[in-house]
Amino acid sequence: MKQEVYKTIVQPKEETIKYLTGWKRPGYAFILFETKEWHVFHDGEKRLGTGLMTLNAESRPEIYHHVDMYLQKGFRILDYGNFPKFNDKNPQRAAKALHYSQGAGLNPWDNLEKFVKQKMSSEINWDERASNYENEISVLKKKLEEERKKLEVKQSVLKKDSI
Amino acid sequence: MGAVSNITEFGNSVNVTDVLAAGISPALVKANCMMAVMHTEGLPAGTMTAKLTRRGSLTAAALAEATALAPDANGELTDSSVGATIAKCAVVSGVSVEQGQFGSITADRIAAEHGAAIARYVDNDALSLFSGLSTSVTSASILTIDDVMLGQFNIFNSECPNKEVPLKAVLSHRGHYNIKKEIVQSGAAVWSNESYLEVLAGTPQANCYVGSLLGSIDFHATSGHATSGGDTVQAIFHPMWAFAGFFAPAPVTWVKEKGSEGFYTEYATYYFYDVLEWNDLCGVKLLSDT
């Protein structure tokens, strides 16, 4: 079975794609790094390459110092997600966000998200992301228009029947 | 032929139900491994952050006769540090008054389970540090002794201090199995010597220690490692210098009775800690088939 390459917010290096093939998004709050690491081999070769690293931010929204430490090592943030939100669809995660806000109304994962986004900003191809979203919007608009037309036809049939 | 009617059956009497048998199985969960194989300190006092120092060094140079030597970069001593920020992990349980009155789950049991759950959380957090190491050995498929020794070589080659202390290899259970299988299948004479056979013949200890390889590498086997692609991320590292942790002396448990919210007792336990990588070059990650 062909495994899909996980699509990250920041474009990974070519070498990292093999690690992202079949990579599954964890169920907990995470920050995904592309590592910069030395691959050592039995024949004595030592080659600088990449790898993947997932930083667990579940129950640890104050993990900035770890992020900074890994960035200083030359790692890049590729992706992040599953941060608990006040309006989370999962009530337990929404409760967790509220619990960690200590009643102050500030979700600490929102701050972490801002921090992570800021660290990623120079790497994100905003134009590409904007055009992706625009494409998605135009596809959805098209679908909406088709559904609207179908509804109009149905309504006109119903009208005729009632007459 | 149908069942005979009007027989006095077992269900016709009032019977004793739910008698506890003598055997009580513990939960099938992992033991704590990492806390014993890293540098540990108590919580910093009066602050949530602490810095672990990494000492710098100086470089000497040859000097010709009657030549002045001004202070230069070689003589500038610079220390660096890594910072820890203490975090909290917690677990909360509610026990109904019915369970409290008639059940077998006691407050002591809840407190013990909270402690164990927190210990596993902290342990998994420490295991996840392996992914952040900057040197890696990737097995061709399964983990081999040569892979582990290549990791050991790289740590020695980085001049990690205290080489007299055996390195720790914290493997997955599959990695441990593959090492043992290699020993069995190698047929090498050295493995017929009982003193070299600890890793094969020993039974796992409570702290996940499973044996030593030729006295220079201590093996631990546990679960909860991170994965990367189809590989499990294990590591070999120096127990004094690779990783560090700041730990509270014990978890704290609050007990609160809740009436209007449903007549139960809330047990809330929290624990302060942080684990972090201290010296990157004192550890090598070992990636092998999951």
Interface test with B, best of A24, A31, A38, A111 (most B CBs within 10 A): A38
Give whole-number Cα distances, B78 to B55, B62, B70, B81, in Å.
7, 21, 17, 10
Question: Looking at the domain assignment, is residue B171 inside a domain?
Answer: yes
Which amino acid belongs to residue B203?
A: T
Question: Looking at the domain assignment, is residue B26 inside a domain?
Answer: no
pLDDT confidence tier of residue A129, bands split at 50, 70 and 90: confident
Contact A42 B150 (CB under 8 A): yes
**CA distance to partner chain B, nearest, from residue A83 (Å):** 16
Domain boundaries, chain A: 1-124, 125-163
Question: Looking at the domain assignment, is residue B18 inside a domain?
Answer: no
> Cβ contacts (< 8 Å) between B129 and chain A: which residues?
none
CB-based contact, A26 to chain B, within 8 Å: no
Q: In terms of CA atoms, which chain B residue is nearest residue A56?
A: B125
Provide the pLDDT for residue A42.
87
Taking only the tens place, the pLDDT of each residue in A37-49 is: 999 998 888 999 9
Q: Is A21 left (phi over 0), alpha (psi -120 to 50) or beta?
A: beta
CB-based contact, B125 to chain A, within 8 Å: yes
Question: Looking at the domain assignment, is residue B140 inside a domain?
Answer: yes
For B266, the domain range is 34-53+81-187+195-289
Taking only the tens place, the pLDDT of each residue in A59-118 is: 888 888 899 999 999 999 999 999 999 998 889 899 889 888 877 788 999 999 999 999
Question: Looking at the domain assignment, is residue B97 inside a domain?
Answer: yes
Contact B136 A22 (CB under 8 A): no
Residues of chain B short of pLDDT 50, as ranges, are none
Q: Are strands A30-40 and B135-138 parallel, antiparallel or unpaired?
A: parallel
CB-based contact, A19 to chain B, within 8 Å: yes
Contact A35 B84 (CB under 8 A): no
Q: In terms of CA atoms, which chain A residue is nearest residue B144?
A: A42
Provide the pLDDT for residue A32.
95
User: Interface pTM (ipTM) of the complex?
Assistant: 0.76
Tokens of A48: 């600088």
Return the DSSP state at B119.
H
Question: Looking at the domain assignment, is residue B25 inside a domain?
Answer: no
- Reported as type and span, the H/E element at residue A83 is none
Question: Looking at the domain assignment, is residue B103 inside a domain?
Answer: yes
Q: Are strands B227-228 and B217-222 parallel, antiparallel or unpaired?
A: unpaired
Q: What SS3 state is found at A19? A: helix
Provide the pLDDT for residue B237.
96
Closest CA to A34 of A53, A17, A48, A15: A53
> Cβ contacts (< 8 Å) between B285 and chain A: which residues?
37
Tell me how many domains chain B contains: 1
β-sheet bridge partners, residue B275: B245
Q: What is the pTM of this model?
A: 0.81
CB-based contact, B266 to chain A, within 8 Å: no
Question: Looking at the domain assignment, is residue B5 inside a domain?
Answer: no
**CA distance to partner chain B, nearest, from residue A31 (Å):** 12
